[in-house]
């Protein structure tokens, strides 16, 4: 192919190709491809996008952290805080709203705009008006982190310096959210002291196969420290063994293992970490070996055999796939205790006290054995030397509904809210006299689940601690209306218990009815109407640095 004259060359300033490349033809895009998410050009052999702010995965062989792309955290201090997947790690994203006031001849016009900030290092340096992929994932987030409990008895029994335990307990009792939250199967978010590196006061920690990593230390820090110690002590260890050894622990590891040990199911799942001394070869023992773990795992020898027991159970499931024709359930062994039933009643009361509805609900109706009501009547009469008689007894004839006949109805009016709590309290489901709620973006309300922190007496050396008041988000609450709930009220509001025995005479089942009212604390309650669009959420001023 003859070359073009210089006057006809479309790119006269470009250096001419050598003569042996003159017949290559038109250039193609062979060997590269565009990322479908961000448009960056990548090699066809690439496993994931080389754009660090994108992290799109092209092939199943790419290392991708399992779990949800974005998870909403509980108790964000300044707004809604999210943990978002960032290639092989995770980053934090803040979402909120900003309010602007504009003066017009008609008055003040308030505008509310959604705002957000990504704390990934690569995104923080990008333009402020450019929305990164992490912000988009947070905006479409539907998942929520799981708060982990923390018992002070576990924290007191752990082998760690007293100042470290005091620091953790102070963080755990702050009303800004739980100390440890679970984001994915292996990734946790731990509350920490705010610093220039962790300005939000949160960081990520992960537990893998006998390995723990924390964002408080740069990658490879634990490995370098172990190698330094290896050189100093001149120990001859196998390199593979050295890589599998756990790294030196930090205070955030202490927070995680205390949270694991505070819950029986978590203690079984992370039994390998709880059974180790946690020193990582540093001589600093921050573990639970020989203290709390044996009691939680039901026997001191169970933790090392946890994996073998799980494998044995899996083999058994393969031989016997589960309930079916090979297993016969003994009906005589199926029973419901009074406290289990009463716990369900208490849970029904909680469900009824919803901020989104009026405070005059329909009566709660239960059909229960006579023995259950006799046990409930003992609770009604508790504190008195004799059985408390009903406030009224009524004979009535039922003709317009089944069952037909003449029945007796016994009614008790309880006008002391503490007595109501004493009647319906159970060890598993204590009665909540007040319930807290948060408002969603669509104007609806949902109960606020505060972190499960059990306040227990601390052992000597930790010092006294004050009981923290419960967190009341936005002061949106419902409360039981029992007794005098307002200064102008003349007659007390009762919590009414009605009992109609022998609704089913052969089975000795009666009908229990609970009638009560509840009120609302906080801003104006605006439940969304049926068929109407939900109202806008209340205006709030949230400023991001």
pLDDT digits (tens, 9 = 90+) for 451-477: 555 555 555 555 544 545 554 455 788
Residue 439 pLDDT grade (very low, low, confident, very high; cuts 50, 70, 90): confident
Long-range contacts of 507-510, Cβ-Cβ distance < 8 Å, separation of 24 or more: 507/369, 508/369, 508/370, 509/367, 509/368, 509/369, 509/370, 510/367, 510/368, 510/369, 510/370, 510/373
Question: Bigger pLDDT: 178 or 77?
Answer: 178
**What is the reported pLDDT for 481?**
94
Render pLDDT for 102-111 as a digit per residue (tens, 0 to 9): 777 776 666 6
234-248, 353-367, 399-413, 474-488: least confidently modelled range: 234-248
140-144, 187-191, 312-316, 491-495: least confidently modelled range: 312-316
**What is the reported pLDDT for 364?**
95
Residue whose C-alpha is closest to residue 396's, from 493, 511, 507: 511
Give start and end residues of each alpha helix (H) in 328-431.
338-352, 370-380, 417-424
Residue 113 pLDDT grade (very low, low, confident, very high; cuts 50, 70, 90): low
Contact 435/512 with Cβ under 8 angstroms?
no
Q: 403 is written with which tokens?
A: 């069952």
State the pairing for strand pair 70-72/143-144: parallel
Residue 291 has pLDDT above 90, yes or no: no
Residue 112 pLDDT grade (very low, low, confident, very high; cuts 50, 70, 90): low
The per-residue pLDDT of the chain, averaged, comes to: 75
**What is the reported pLDDT for 13?**
54
Kindly state the average pLDDT of the residues 411-431.
Answer: 93
**What kind and span of H or E run contains 295?**
helix 293-296
DSSP annotation of 315:
H
**Could you tell me how far CA 482 lies from the centroid of its own chain?**
32
Integer angstrom CA distances of residue 475 from 435, 437, 543: 10, 8, 21
**What is the reported pLDDT for 51?**
79
d(CA 544, CA 30): 45
For the chain, the residue count is 545
Render pLDDT for 55-69 as a digit per residue (tens, 0 to 9): 677 765 444 444 468
d(CA 189, CA 206): 9
d(CA 51, CA 87): 10
**What is the reported pLDDT for 19?**
75
Residue 348 pLDDT grade (very low, low, confident, very high; cuts 50, 70, 90): very high
Contact 136/440 with Cβ under 8 angstroms?
no
For the chain, what percent of residues have pLDDT higher than 90? 21
Residue 270 pLDDT grade (very low, low, confident, very high; cuts 50, 70, 90): confident
Kindly state the average pLDDT of the residues 177-203.
Answer: 88
**What is the reported pLDDT for 247?**
42
Integer angstrom CA distances of residue 492 from 424, 432, 485: 20, 20, 8
**What is the reported pLDDT for 313?**
54
- SS3 state of residue 275: helix
- SS3 state of residue 515: strand
Question: Bigger pLDDT: 432 or 539?
Answer: 432
Query: Which burial class, exposed, middle or buried, applies to 364 when counting CB atoms under 10 A from its CB (0-12, 13-18, 19+)?
Result: middle
Residue 423 pLDDT grade (very low, low, confident, very high; cuts 50, 70, 90): very high
**What is the reported pLDDT for 157?**
81
Residue 169 has pLDDT above 70, yes or no: yes
**What is the reported pLDDT for 454?**
56
Where do we find the tokens 């790690």? 89
| DSSP states of 468-513 | PPPP-GGG-EEEEE-B--STT--SPBPEEEEEEEEEETTTTEEEEE
> Is this structure's pTM higher than 0.95?
no
Render pLDDT for 83-93 as a digit per residue (tens, 0 to 9): 998 777 889 98
Kindly state the average pLDDT of the residues 93-105.
Answer: 73
């Amino acid at each position: 192919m003859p070359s073009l004259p210089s006057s006809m060359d479309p790119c006269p300033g470009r250096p001419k190709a050598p003569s042996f490349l003159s017949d290559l033809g038109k250039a193609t895009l062979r060997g590269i491809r565009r990322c479908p998410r961000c448009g960056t050009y990548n090699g066809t052999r690439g496993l994931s996008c080389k754009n660090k702010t994108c992290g799109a995965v092209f092939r199943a062989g790419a290392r991708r952290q399992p779990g949800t792309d974005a998870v909403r955290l509980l108790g964000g201090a300044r707004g809604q805080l999210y943990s978002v997947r960032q290639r092989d790690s995770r980053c934090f994203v803040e979402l909120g709203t900003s309010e602007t006031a504009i003066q017009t001849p008609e008055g003040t016009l308030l505008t509310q705009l959604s705002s957000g900030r990504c704390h990934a290092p690569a995104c923080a340096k990008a333009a402020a008006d450019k929305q990164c992929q992490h912000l988009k994932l947070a905006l479409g987030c539907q998942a929520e982190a799981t708060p982990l409990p923390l018992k002070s008895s576990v924290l007191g029994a752990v082998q760690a310096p007293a100042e470290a335990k005091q620091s953790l307990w102070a963080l755990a009792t702050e009303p800004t959210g739980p100390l440890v939250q679970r984001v994915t199967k292996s990734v946790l978010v731990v509350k920490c002291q705010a610093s220039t590196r962790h300005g939000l006061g949160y960081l990520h920690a992960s537990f893998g196969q006998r390995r723990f990593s924390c964002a408080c230390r740069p990658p490879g820090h634990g490995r370098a420290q172990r190698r330094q110690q290896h050189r100093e002590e001149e120990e001859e260890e196998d390199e593979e063994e050295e890589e599998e050894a756990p790294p030196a622990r930090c205070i955030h590891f202490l927070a995680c293992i205390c949270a694991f040990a505070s819950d029986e199911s978590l203690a079984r799942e992370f039994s390998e970490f709880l059974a180790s001394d946690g020193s990582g070869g540093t001589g600093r023992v921050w573990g639970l070996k020989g203290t709390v773990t044996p009691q939680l795992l039901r026997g001191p020898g169970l933790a090392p055999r946890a994996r073998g027991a799980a494998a044995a159970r899996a083999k058994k499931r393969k031989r016997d796939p589960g309930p079916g024709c090979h297993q016969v359930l003994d009906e005589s062994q199926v029973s419901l205790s009074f406290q289990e039933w009463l716990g369900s009643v208490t849970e029904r009361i909680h469900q009824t006290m919803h901020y989104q509805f009026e405070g005059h609900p329909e009566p709660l109706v239960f059909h229960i054995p006579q023995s259950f009501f006799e046990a409930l009547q003992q609770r009604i009469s508790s504190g008195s030397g004799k059985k408390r008689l009903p406030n009224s007894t009524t004979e009535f004839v039922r003709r317009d509904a089944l069952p037909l006949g003449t029945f007796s109805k016994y009614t008790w009016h309880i006008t002391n809210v503490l007595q109501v709590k004493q009647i319906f309290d159970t060890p598993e489901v204590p009665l909540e006299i007040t319930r807290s709620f948060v408002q969603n973006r669509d104007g609806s309300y949902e109960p606020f689940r505060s972190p499960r922190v059990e306040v227990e007496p601390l052992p000597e050396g930790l010092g006294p601690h004050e009981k923290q008041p419960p967190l009341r988000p936005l002061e949106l609450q419902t409360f039981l209306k029992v007794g005098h709930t307002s200064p102008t009220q003349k007659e007390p509001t009762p919590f009414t218990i009605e009992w109609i025995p022998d609704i089913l005479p052969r089975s000795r089942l009666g009908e229990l009815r609970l009638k009560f009212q509840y009120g609302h604390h906080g801003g104006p309650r605006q439940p969304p109407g049926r068929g109407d669009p939900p109202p806008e959420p209340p205006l709030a001023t949230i400023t991001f640095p």
